[in-house]
Homo-oligomer: A and B are copies of this chain.
Amino acid sequence: MIISKTTRELSPYVAGEQPHDKKYIKLNTNENPYPPSERVKQAISQASNTELRLYPDPQCTELRKVLAKKEGVAPQNIFCGNGSDEVLFTACAAFFRGFSPALADITYSFYPVFCKLLGIAPATVKLKPDYSIDFAAFTAVAQNNGAILVNPNAPTTKSESVSDILALVKSTKNAVLVDEAYIDFASVPSLAPQVLNYDNLIVVKTFSKSYSLAGIRCGYAVASPQAITALECIRDSFNSYTVNTVTQAAATAAVLDDDYHQKTIAAVKQGRADVIARLSAVSRDVRVVTPDSDTNFYLLSCRNYTAEQIYAALRERGCLVRVLNAVAPAVRVTVGTAKQNAVVVSAVADMLNHD
């Protein structure tokens, strides 16, 4: 059969392994080590008794209402999707076709993939030597093309300041898309409330990280009503009902249990500080490349080891991590529970002793 040329030329995103056996401590896709709120479980059970024969509420009315309250905006500032990847793709389709948005050379690797599918050629802008964003270079491109950035950036784990990002937003009438997948673990605040001041700022968030709900697929954008209308226009050109009834109920319950959310975030941040300190103390040959990580993961190098060797050694010892050589020869390790983090520390020590 004939497959179209545009399809043959794609290089799809490769997600982390999702092993079916349970023998690994899974620290390779930046999931949350803690379970979701009990109220989420109840909401899902209850949703099984709702009228699932009917299409979902395409407006996600309840979910948008609670998200608006949480973010300090109005429901018409919220757009929900089937995971933040879908929301980001929708935003690229809505705002960047016909433009070459600024994109850091080291960033979430799904962006170039979205762009390729959509026929968008982003303008790659190098990070500075300290892995921070070069705002002068970014602004030069963004002025007439907009920009895509992730704050804190993945995989560098570094945050940029609100004032630097807002200066970029002010410099252009094109969209500035800020992916805040990891913002709840960061030392900087979310830009979400700023959408009330800047109609070209689009902030995207996810339930997959701090809410421990990667399995339900839900993400959302916070933006001006005109930007939200553009997102809806794209969505309604490929799938009118992207967020199913059960996911809407689960996500709503998660937002309403703010106490649990805050506790989980605090636990992950504490775990991050502990594991980075303990790893750094293992030996002079161990280097946490991102000692000040603002995300729920860190990059780990070991002198005389390639990333692939560290990956294999940790896998052999029951820890699944991901090779990520963009910043240094390193593996990317998700922050786990105290127990899981201890296994990582032992595994690294054991690897070094073994040789």
Query: Which of B18, B53, B250 sits near A36, CB closer than 8 Å?
Result: B53
Asked whether A233 lies within 8 Å of B52 as measured between CB atoms, the reply is: no
Task: List, in ascending order, chain B residues with CB within 8 A of A161's CB.
Answer: none
Q: How far is the CB of A141 from chain B (nearest CB, A)?
A: 15
How many identical chains are in the complex? 2
| Segment of A80-88, A124-132, A271-279, A309-317 in the binding face | A80-88
Query: Which of B10, B51, B89, B227 sits near A215, CB closer than 8 Å?
Result: B51
Known: A12-B237, A238-B86. A213 touches B3 (CB 8 A): no
Task: List, in ascending order, chain B residues with CB within 8 A of A174's CB.
Answer: 1-2
Tell yes or no: A98 within 8 A of B by CB. yes
Task: List, in ascending order, chain B residues with CB within 8 A of A31's CB.
Answer: 53-55
| Segment of A56-64, A68-76, A282-290 in the binding face | A56-64
A245's nearest neighbour on chain B, judged by CB, is B215
Max chain B C-beta neighbours (<10 A), residue from A98, A215, A232: A215
A interface residues, Cβ below 8 angstroms from B: 1-7, 10, 12-15, 18, 20, 26, 29, 31-36, 40-42, 44-45, 47-58, 61, 82-83, 85-86, 89, 93-99, 113-114, 116-117, 119, 146, 173-175, 199-200, 208, 212-217, 224, 226-227, 230, 232-247, 250
A-B contact pairs, 25 of them (CB 8 A): A2-B174, A3-B94, A3-B226, A3-B227, A4-B96, A4-B98, A4-B99, A7-B94, A7-B230, A7-B234, A10-B237, A12-B235, A15-B55, A15-B236, A20-B61, A31-B54, A33-B53, A35-B51, A52-B212, A52-B216, A52-B250, A55-B208, A83-B239, A86-B238, A93-B117
